[in-house]
Chains A and B, each alone.
Chain A
Amino acid sequence: MARSTVTLSLLIAILLAGPMFIVVPMSFSTAPSLQFPPPGFWLGYYRHFFSDPNWTGPVVNSFLIGGGTMVLAMLLGVPASFALVRHQFRFRALFRLLVLMPLIVPHIVMALGYYSYFGLLGLVQSMTGVILAHTCLSIPVVVLTVTSALVNFDRRLENAAANLGARPLTTFRLVTFPVLRPAFLVAALFAFIHSFDEAVIAIFISGRDSATLPRQMFNSFQMEADPAISAASSLLLAAVLAVIGMQLAARLVRARRPRHPA
C-alpha cells in the first residue's frame, strides 16, 4: 500500500479527532466566552459544573433515564430478537419493519409527536415520558445487535448440550446465555448510550425537573454559552476515551493468552 495513502488516512484521522479535543483546554479557560486560546487557566468551571444543581440534576437524570431505557429496551428487544431469528410466524416481516422504524423516522418528527401525545397523556416533562420515548429508539439498536449475534450462534452447541443431558432451560442457562452474554452487554451499553446522548427529543419533552444533560447543554449553548458546557463536554469526551482505552487494553490482554499451537 502506497505510503502516501497511509499518510493521507492518518492525516484525515487526526483532523477527525483533533477538533474534539479543543474542548479540554476550553474547560480550564478563565474566559467567560468562547475564546481560544484561553487567556488563563482555572478549575472554576469544573467546580461550577459539580456544584450547580442546574448541571448535576441533568447528569443524574440522564443516568437514570439511560438506565431505565437500557433495562426496558433489553426486556423488550431480546425476546423480539429471538422471535425474529429463531421462529417463523405470520407477521414476521411486518414485525421486523416495526422494530426498525424508529431508526428511519427523524427524531424531530418523533419529538413533535411525543410533545403532543404526552401532552394528551399527561406525561409531558416527566422522566417516564422520556424513558418511554427513548426505549422506542433503543429497541432497534438492541435488536440489531442481538440478532446479529444470534445468527452467528452455532445451534450445534445447544444440540450438544441436549445430547449430553441438559433440558431446554438448563441449556439456555448454561450454554446459550453465557455464549451470548458479550452481545447482550454490548446491546445494553448501546441502548444506554443511545439514550444518554439523545438530544432532540429530550429538548422537546423533558422538562426542568427531568432535564437531561444534552438538553441542558443545548439550552446553555443557545442562551448564555455557559462555559460549564466545556467542562461537561470534556468529561463526556474523557468517558468515551476511557471506554475505548479499556477495550484496547482488554484486546491486548487477550492477545497475550496462550493460543493453540499451529
Chain B
Amino acid sequence: MNAARSLTLRSISKSYVAGQNVVDGIDLDVQPGEFVSFLGPSGSGKTTTLMMIAGFERPTAGEIGIAGRTIDAVEPYDRNIGMVFQNYALFPHMSAAQNVGFPLRMRRVPKADADRKVAAALAMIGLSEFAARKPAELSGGQQQRVALARALVFEPDLVLLDEPLGALDKTLREQMQIELKRIHRELGVTMIYVTHDQTEAMAMSDRIAVFSQGRIEQIGSPTEVYFTPRTSFVASFVGDSNLLRGRTLGDGVVDVECLGTIATGARDLPAGRDVSILIRPETIRIRPAATAPSPTGSTMRIEEVVNYGESYLVVGRKAGRDLRVRVPGIDMPPVARGDDCTIEWDAARVHVI
C-alpha cells in the first residue's frame, strides 16, 4: 500500500455542546486514489467530518492522519487539500482564470508555469474560452466546473467535495457526475464526496460510508451497501426497500410479520434471533391471480400502480403492511388496482440484518 497519500481517521468525535456528539467515533481508512462518498441525511455528521478533514473544525477527540502524519495541528492553508464547496465559493471579483490560478499564486509558482497549468485545467473542464469571465457571468454548471478546476490545479493529494451538485438541475447533475468520474479516473486523485443523494453516491463511488447520527453505519462498495446492508438504516436509506421484522427459526427460515415463514440464504443463523428482513422491490416478481403462500412467495392486494416509463412501481397491501415491487416496463403483467396478485422472490436474494 502506498502510505504516501492515504487518509486515516481514528475515533474522530466532535461536540459543540458537552455531552452531545455531532460526530461520534468515526474510524476510516481511505486508500490513495479511492472515491469515497459520505452518504447520509442532513445532520448525520458527514459535512462536519469533512470540515474536520479540511481543517475548518477541530475534532473534540481522535486523530486525523494523511500519509502517516497527524494533521490536527496543521492549519487549513497548510494542508494541501483541494476542496469544492457547496455553493462553489468562487471569488466574485476575480475571473475564472484568476480563481483557478489563486492556489498556484499562494504557492508562489512562477508565472509562466502557473499560466500553463491554469490553461490546462480550464481545458480539462472545457471552459478555455471563458477564462476571462467573472463568476457572475457563468452558469451554475460552469461555475461548478471552475470550482473543481481550482481545487485540482495544484495537484493535491486529496480532494473534498461538499454536495457540489446540489444546485444543479437533474440533467446537468447527471452530466457532471459522469464528468467527475472521468476526471477522477484520469487524475487518480483521492476524492471524498459528501452527499445525501444515494443514487449519486452509488453511481460515483468506489466505497460508500453511510452516516447516521454522527456514526458510520457501514462502509463498503456500492454493491455491498446495496445488497448486503448491515443495518436497517442503511437498508432503507440506500435504495428502495421492503423491511420486515422477524424471528429466526434456524436453518435460514425466518418467521416475518405479514409474510409468515419464509426461506432465506442465511443458514448459519441460530434460531430465536430478532432480525430484519430486506427484500429489494426489483427482486420481486408479480403474477396475476392469487395462489397459496410459500417460503418464497405470497399474495397481496394491489393499491397503486405507478408508471415510470422504464419501470413500474406496484404498491400492494398484505396483512396491514405496504409492500413495494418494481417491475421493468416491458415485463409488466396485466394487473391493475384492486387486483389480488401473487408475488415471488428468490430465497438467496432475501437479506437478513
Contacts and interface: CB of A to CB of B under 8 A. Distances in A.
Tell me, yes or no, whether A and B come into direct contact in the complex with CB atoms closer than 8 A. yes
Interface of A: 154, 156-157, 159-167, 170, 174-175, 178-179, 257-262
Contacts of B154: 164-165
Contacts of B107: 165
* Best-buried of A159, A163, A165, A258 by chain B (most CB within 10 Å): A163
* 5 tightest A-B CB contacts, nearest first: A165-B106, A160-B89, A164-B103, A156-B89, A260-B139
24 contacts: A154-B89, A156-B89, A157-B89, A157-B91, A160-B83, A160-B90, A161-B102, A162-B55, A162-B77, A163-B56, A164-B102, A164-B103, A164-B150, A165-B77, A174-B91, A175-B91, A178-B91, A179-B91, A257-B137, A258-B133, A258-B137, A259-B136, A260-B137, A261-B139
A262 B133 CA distance: 16
Interface of B: 54-56, 75-83, 85-87, 89-93, 102-103, 106-107, 133, 136-139, 142, 150, 154
* Best-buried of B90, B103, B150 by chain A (most CB within 10 Å): B103
B92 A259 contact: no
Nearest to A262: B139
Nearest to B108: A165
A162 B139 CA distance: 25
A259 B83 CA distance: 26
Contacts of A162: 55-56, 75-77
Nearest to A171: B77
A154 B77 contact: no
Contacts of B55: 162-163
B115 to A, nearest CB: 17
B136 A178 contact: no
A102 B142 CA distance: 47
Given A259-B137, A260-B136, A260-B142, A167 B91 contact: no
A257 B85 CA distance: 27
Given A159-B56, A260-B136, 13 more contacts: A157-B89, A160-B90, A162-B55, A162-B75, A163-B77, A163-B82, A164-B154, A165-B77, A165-B107, A179-B91, A179-B92, A259-B137, A262-B139
A257 B132 CA distance: 13
Contacts of A260: 136-139, 142
B143 to A, nearest CB: 8
A235 B54 CA distance: 57
A262 B92 CA distance: 19
Contacts of B86: 156
Contacts of A257: 137
B76 A159 contact: yes
Contacts, number: 72
* Best-buried of B102, B107, B138, B154 by chain A (most CB within 10 Å): B102
Contacts of B83: 160, 163
Contacts of A161: 91, 102
B308 to A, nearest CB: 28
Contacts of B79: 163
A160 B77 contact: no
B71 to A, nearest CB: 13
A34 to B, nearest CB: 51
Contacts of B93: 178-179
Nearest to B51: A159
A167 B89 contact: no
A259 to B, nearest CB: 6
B106 A164 contact: yes
A58 B278 CA distance: 87
B81 A163 contact: yes
A73 B52 CA distance: 40
Contact of B54 (A163, A167, A258): A163
Contacts of A160: 83, 85, 89-91
Given A162-B77, A165-B77, A156 B87 contact: yes
Contacts of B56: 159, 162-163
Contacts of A175: 91
Nearest to B133: A258
A156 B85 contact: yes
B85 to A, nearest CB: 5
Nearest to A165: B106
Contacts of A259: 136-137
Nearest to A159: B56
A38 B90 CA distance: 59
A159 B137 contact: no
A175 B92 CA distance: 9
* Best-buried of A156, A164, A166, A167 by chain B (most CB within 10 Å): A164
Contacts of B150: 164
Given A260-B137, A260-B142, A261-B139, A166 B77 contact: yes
A163 B103 CA distance: 9
Nearest to A156: B89
Nearest to A154: B89
Contacts of A159: 56, 76, 85, 89
B114 to A, nearest CB: 13
Nearest to A164: B103
A164 B104 CA distance: 9
B103 A165 contact: yes
B87 A154 contact: yes
A168 to B, nearest CB: 8
